Amino acid sequence: MRAPATIIPVAVLRQSKSLKIIGKIGCQNYHFLLDTVASRSVIRMDKVDSSKKTPVRAYSLKTASGELMAIKGLIDITVQIGNQSFKHEFLIADVTDDCIIGLDFMLKYGISLNIGGGTLQCGDLEVPLLGDENEEDGRVRRIKLVENTTLPAKSEMIIWGKIENGYPTTGTALVESLDTNPNGIEVGKTLVMIGKDLMVPVRIMNLGTEKHLREGSTIAGCHALEMIRNCSSENPYERLESSEPHVTKLLTEVKTILSKEQYTKAEQFLREFSDILPSDEMDFGRTNLILHRIDTGNTRPMQQQPRRLPLAKHQEAMDIIERMRQQGVVESSNSPWCSPFVLVEKWVVLD
């Protein structure tokens, strides 16, 4: 006697309030339906390689309308959500949506839905939710100026614009420049929070002469983000501790003589400017922020006479010169302006 088929409920029937995200199967973007009612995840048959499927007869799908739908097989595939990849077993069926993420997938990978915030969350990853009415949310929307504005020459300012009607989502989006902007006007890429009024700040720079922009002019573009990484839980100083042992050594030496508040301020200061601190006693450091040039014109090169070193200090001097050469402080030269090394003893001054 054949065992009865297992019936799996799924919300295959189109609903006006269904939630979706943008995901990838292979290199192609698709819309994934999020269905907490479905106990198993389902993928449409034309989205997978049917030669890799495993036949199965013990399952049937029950749609939201109550109809039963046959299962075509099982398949293990890797899908990508945001910048993370997930390998999972999917049922194959002739469903309407490209892919249905069921409760089994969400429980396996610790995925939760923040309906109020409009995001799917998995660890520190947040992916904006899409509805049926905004499946084309990935396209760039225009931002129009809300009032007449004058841009002074050679200046940068922040002005307010409004996203064109029909933008369906609220949350985080990216504002960036458009190719249609007038010459000399650039817009900085900016993350913005979109509210119900669709008003967003636009960072704009005028590289030319004074310009006058009229109300309603298109000044930038805006599109929803495919993912957001939440870094607020990370402590940057803890992350840098292992990569900056010279700073950690300094902090260890002063920890006993500083209060807790003083130590915290000292750590923040040293970590912030760690790149200008020597990593060891032989790290002399150098900068190319300021370049100095001397115009010698037709002047004859000045020749500096070599100084004789005591034989006892000859090897030590050669070691110092070699270390400086390895650190890039000095280099070999055949220039007529090149100079021999002049090494002098440092006077010890007792204050």
In terms of domains, do 89 and 25 share one? yes
Structure-block tokens of residue 128: 């904006």
Please choose, from the candidates 237, 148, 229, the residue with its C-alpha nearest in 3D space to the C-alpha of residue 191: 229
Summarised one tens digit per residue, pLDDT across range 276-319 is 777 776 676 667 778 888 888 888 888 778 888 888 888 988 88
Q: Please tell me the predicted confidence (pLDDT) of residue 83.
A: 82
Written as one letter, the residue type at 341 is: F
pTM score, whole prediction: 0.49
In terms of domains, do 115 and 11 share one? yes
Q: Please tell me the predicted confidence (pLDDT) of residue 169.
A: 59
- Long-range (24+ apart) CB contacts under 8 A made by 214-217 are 214/145, 214/148, 215/145, 215/146, 215/147, 215/148, 216/144, 216/145, 217/144, 217/145
Structure-block tokens of residue 132: 């049926």
Kind of pairing, strands 141-145 and 6-9?
A: unpaired
- Residue 299 located in a structural domain: no
In terms of domains, do 69 and 86 share one? yes
Q: Which residues lie below 8 Å from residue 312, measured CB to CB, with a gap of 6+?
A: none
For tokens 């458009």, what's the residue? 178
In terms of domains, do 184 and 86 share one? no
In terms of domains, do 156 and 256 share one? no
In terms of domains, do 212 and 270 share one? no
- Residue 348 located in a structural domain: no
- Residue 336 located in a structural domain: no
Residue-range definition of the domain harbouring residue 255 = 235-292+308-331
Q: Please tell me the predicted confidence (pLDDT) of residue 224.
A: 72
Number of domains in the chain: 3
In terms of domains, do 39 and 129 share one? yes
Q: Please tell me the predicted confidence (pLDDT) of residue 182.
A: 74
Q: What is the CATH number of the domain that holds 179?
A: 2.70.40.10
Q: Please tell me the predicted confidence (pLDDT) of residue 1.
A: 44
Q: What is the CATH number of the domain that holds 68?
A: 2.40.70.10
Residue that terminates a domain, selected from 100, 134, 168: 134
CA 257 to chain CA mean position, Å = 39
In terms of domains, do 183 and 256 share one? no
- Residue 300 located in a structural domain: no
In terms of domains, do 161 and 208 share one? yes
Q: Which parts of the chain have pLDDT scores under 50?
A: 1-4, 12-14
The dihedral region occupied by 110, where left means phi > 0, alpha psi between -120 and 50, and beta the remainder, is left
In terms of domains, do 21 and 96 share one? yes
- Output the CA torsion 92→93→99→103 (10° steps): -80
Q: Please tell me the predicted confidence (pLDDT) of residue 203.
A: 92
- Residue 239 located in a structural domain: yes
Structure-block tokens of residue 85: 């990849």
- Contact yes or no for 177/142 (Cβ under 8 A): no
Q: Please tell me the predicted confidence (pLDDT) of residue 58.
A: 62
In terms of domains, do 216 and 242 share one? no
- Contact yes or no for 175/225 (Cβ under 8 A): no
- Contact yes or no for 249/281 (Cβ under 8 A): no
- Residue 297 located in a structural domain: no
- Residue 251 located in a structural domain: yes
For tokens 């040039």, what's the residue? 293
- Residue 165 located in a structural domain: yes
Please choose, from the candidates 242, 227, 237, 20, the residue with its C-alpha nearest in 3D space to the C-alpha of residue 124: 227
In terms of domains, do 265 and 171 share one? no
